[in-house]
Amino acid sequence: MASTDLLAAYLLNFSFSAAYILSYPAVQAASPSLVIVLMIGNSGAEGLLRGDLAHVFDDDVVLGPRIEDLVKGGLVTVEGGYYRLTSKGTVLIRFFVLMRYLLSLPRGRG
Amino acid sequence: MLQYLAALACTPILVFVLQMALIRILRFCGISISNQVIVIISALAGHIPMGAIVWAVYLKDLPDVPGELALTAIYGLFVYEALAYSYFHLFNMSETARRIRILLEIYASGKLTASGIASAYSASDMLDTRIERLLSTRQVRWQGGRLFLDGRLLYYAARVIVWWGRVLGFPPPGNVFTGSTTRPD
């Protein structure tokens, strides 16, 4: 097998792996948008009030676990009750800040 | 062959450049479209320049062997779609991810307490942002003060993701938010 064939196999493997890995957070972190759509979809002809959704999402379940994820992932440290970015977290967030700057977009709203 | 692979590997850069151009063109024309829809349009539009590039650098010179051109083009299409889809998710992280928004708030402030994070980015803000986004992408609609499903694409995608989560052993996402079971991580 030629080296370019191996490179082609690697590129295919890389691209499919990247697609899988980047889809994974929506499964792992229970994307709120998907939960909202499912709740509205499952309500059928009745529909839902905003308040029906609001009581499901509070700060403890929406933010708390995600902050824990960031600490566990080494992106954030907690000292004396204050959260600070680690160097890894700073590099990551600067990448996204640069990306949105080049796209001429304001910061993402989350 | 190497040039063909290099061109395909540049897919995210191509989509990014097209997205930059499209954002500026739409802004100049005063047209407002969801940022996520702009990425999808950029990825779809990217088939044309990518197709032209890979044809010029490799496909046009392929030997006249039955099936060779079709199989090589299908390979390229798979790689393009997977990398464009990956770029879409990468951009989406900057647009919608809670973790990225929390990192941004901490980055902007230097340091924050948990209550500081919650006051900068509350659950209520998160909900309103998502409803607004779903309305702008026509996945849901307001009618008589209630929310109804409009488009079905995201609903079916959500069902696939719930199924996928079950296969991996995660609890149903609704349970994560209502706290009726423990979180997966």
Rounded Cα–Cα distance for residues B45 and B25 (Å): 14
B151 to chain A, any CB pair closer than 8 A? The answer is no
Quote the pTM value: 0.85
Q: Residue B181: what pLDDT? A: 36
Average pLDDT of chain B, as a whole number? 89
Question: For B50-61, what is the mean pLDDT?
Answer: 95
User: At residue B13, does pLDDT exceed 90?
Assistant: yes
User: Does B118 score more than 50 pLDDT?
Assistant: yes
- Count of beta carbons in the 10 Å neighbourhood of residue B45: 16
What does the pLDDT average to over A79-87? 95
Res B134: pLDDT: 92
The H or E element spanning position B105 is helix B98-109
Interface membership of A9 toward B (CB under 8 Å): no
Share of chain B above pLDDT 90, in %: 64
Check: CB of residue B18 under 8 Å from CB of residue B45: yes
Sign of CA dihedral B171, B176, B180, B185: positive
On the question of pLDDT at B179 being above 60, the answer is no
For residue B135, pLDDT beyond 50? yes
Which whole-number Å values give the CA distances from B41 to A22, A98, B37, in the listed order?
Answer: 19, 22, 6
* The predicted structure's pLDDT at residue B21: 97
In this prediction, residue B184 carries a pLDDT of 30
Question: Between chains, do B82 and A22 touch, taking CB under 8 Å as contact?
Answer: no
For residue A64, give how far its alpha carbon lies from the nearest alpha carbon of chain B (Å): 8
Say which residues have a Cβ less than 8 Å from residue A3's Cβ, sequence separation at least 6: none
B95 Cβ contact partners less than 8 Å away, ≥ 6 residues apart: A108, A109, B35, B36
Per-domain residue ranges of chain A: 58-110
Beta strands (DSSP E) in A1-107 are 76-79, 82-85
- B-facing residues of A in 28-67 (CB < 8 A) are 28-41, 43, 46-50, 53-54, 56-59, 61-67
pLDDT score recorded for residue B86: 97
Structure tokens that stand for B127 in this block: 């909900």
Indicate yes or no: CB of B111 within 8 angstroms of CB of A83: yes
ipTM: 0.85
